Chain A
Amino acid sequence: MKYIDEFQDPELARRLLDDIHSTVTRPWALMEVCGGQTHTIIRHGIDQLLPEKVELIHGPGCPVCVTPLEVIDKALEIASRPGVIFCSFGDMLRVPGTGRDLFQVRGAGGDVRVVYSPLDALRIAQRNPDREVVFFGIGFETTAPPNAMTVYQARRLGIRNFSLLVSHVRVPPAIEAIMRSPSCRVQGFLAAGHVCSVMGVEEYPELAERFRVPIVVTGFEPLDILEGVRRTVTQLERGEHTVDNAYPRAVRPEGNTAARAMLEDVFEVTDRAWRGIGVIPDSGWRLSAKYRDHDAEHRFSVDGIQTREPAECRSGEVLQGLLKPHECEAFGTLCTPRTPLGATMVSSEGACAAYYLYRRLDLTPAAREATPVV
């Protein structure tokens, strides 16, 4: 337990770990859905503190990572056009498209701007009525409500030069797709806490029942993860499969009803492709007909883009929990944060980035040279 002193409350961490160690009698595979949870787990060595019988599988819960290459390429194409101000969150800047990224588009003269909030992009549109302002709207249920509100405000205020390039995704259909996969090993889920802060927990009991899998709503701080694991393995050992909220300080059962109402008004559910995984039915949102004027895909003709995935990148398998980042041959050699092949190495929530930043790994000498020891 070499890392335990780094926990915010080492005594509580030790009690939780002791409880987990004494509870587990058989091997269990749990998936943490949220990429923020993955980073906490690797940063604090939580997977190494747990009993060997408990395996944590990294889920697809990094919004940047699951955004398809085609959408990234559409963003790059729009951002390169004269007269366009392309706004994005900072963690999209270095996500590789086919041959370039937003950082390079900016360097080549494109007007790419980083905003803290989508409302900042709307303000840029208000101040630049002769320009087309496009905001890159990606993310899960946590990020979709702010983007929905921004489109609602654009319509309310009559700001016509603002549009959203939408690639929003939803967690429950992804859980279903993972459970339906023939190669699925997941026996319990640590559900993403902040997704549930918005959506509540109502979508999960049906999934838990149908797939007989415990789903424990979990925060993303080290002690939250330990508590989530403790509750999940306790259920598994007892043969139970219910939905449990281990993050009540931030998650009400009904979520945020105002945000959910706005989502329903501005978006409609649609099939969506997930990078490396493929199309998952009903797993995304697009703007509803009422707001189509603010849909960048309607406003700009960006169909027919030819994408090219790097053959060496196995991030799709990483996103499905089939491969650990360091098991990829390109990891730490061909693929580093400076020369990323895929989004999982770039994103602040990507599993490959987490392994690169925080994990001492048994790599080839060349890879070890390239990997910082933290």
Chain B
Amino acid sequence: MCLAVPGRVLDIEERDGTRMANVDFGGVVKEVCLEYLPDLQVGEYAIVHVGFALQRLDEESAKQTLELFATLGMLQEEFGDPWDLAAEAAGTLPPEGEGARR
């Protein structure tokens, strides 16, 4: 949970009065809030934690970190299905039902 992953801003738009972006994390794209880095621009990199850009990062550092995370399987840990991960750890099947696999 405390993992913060570098990502690249793909596009920016205002939603519900909030500055939001689509951010690419080495192939996985997530919606990210830019309210804490309001001057972040398309093409720039930032450290993102639980859907919020928290600090700008230079491109080279960001790419190195992403490469390391991919090698170590940490991107899968961060963006994989949490119910499947929990079920695997518990040695059981993930619970069924609406919303369980969000």
Which residues of A pack against B, CB within 8 Å? Answer: 8, 34-36, 43, 61-64, 85, 89-94, 103, 106-107, 109, 111-120, 139-140, 142-143, 145-146, 149, 153, 156-157, 194, 197-198, 221, 249-252, 256, 258-259, 262, 337-338, 346-349
Contact = CB atoms under 8 A, between A and B. Distances in A.
Contacts of B17: 156
Most B CB within 10 A of own CB, among A103, A139, A347: A103
A113 B99 CA distance: 6
B55 A64 contact: no
B54 A198 contact: yes
B35 to A, nearest CB: 6
Contacts of A146: 33, 49-52
A250 B51 contact: no
A143 B36 contact: no
Given A258-B35, A258-B36, A120 B49 contact: no
Q: Contact size class for B? A: 35 or more
27 contacts: A8-B67, A90-B83, A90-B85, A93-B82, A93-B86, A106-B95, A106-B100, A113-B100, A114-B82, A117-B31, A117-B50, A117-B51, A119-B31, A119-B51, A139-B2, A142-B2, A142-B4, A143-B2, A194-B54, A197-B55, A221-B68, A251-B55, A256-B55, A258-B35, A262-B36, A337-B89, A348-B1
Given A93-B86, A346-B89, A259 B54 contact: yes
Interface in B61-102: 61, 64-65, 67-68, 72, 77, 79, 82-83, 85-87, 89-91, 95, 97, 99-100, 102
A36 B102 contact: no
A346 B82 CA distance: 13
B18 interface: yes
Nearest to B60: A249
B61 A249 contact: yes
A134 B16 CA distance: 21
B81 to A, nearest CB: 8
A208 to B, nearest CB: 23
B43 interface: no
A348 B3 contact: yes
A332 to B, nearest CB: 15
A61 B51 CA distance: 21
Contacts of B97: 106, 109, 111
Given A113-B102, A197-B4, A120 B90 contact: no
A259 B2 contact: no
Contacts of B2: 34-36, 61-63, 139-140, 142-143, 194, 349
Nearest to B99: A113
Contacts of B52: 117, 145-146, 149
A104 to B, nearest CB: 9
Given A114-B82, A348-B77, A349-B2, A338 B54 contact: no
Given A107-B95, A259-B54, 16 more contacts: A8-B67, A8-B68, A63-B1, A106-B100, A112-B100, A115-B102, A116-B30, A118-B50, A139-B1, A146-B49, A149-B36, A153-B16, A221-B65, A250-B61, A252-B55, A256-B36
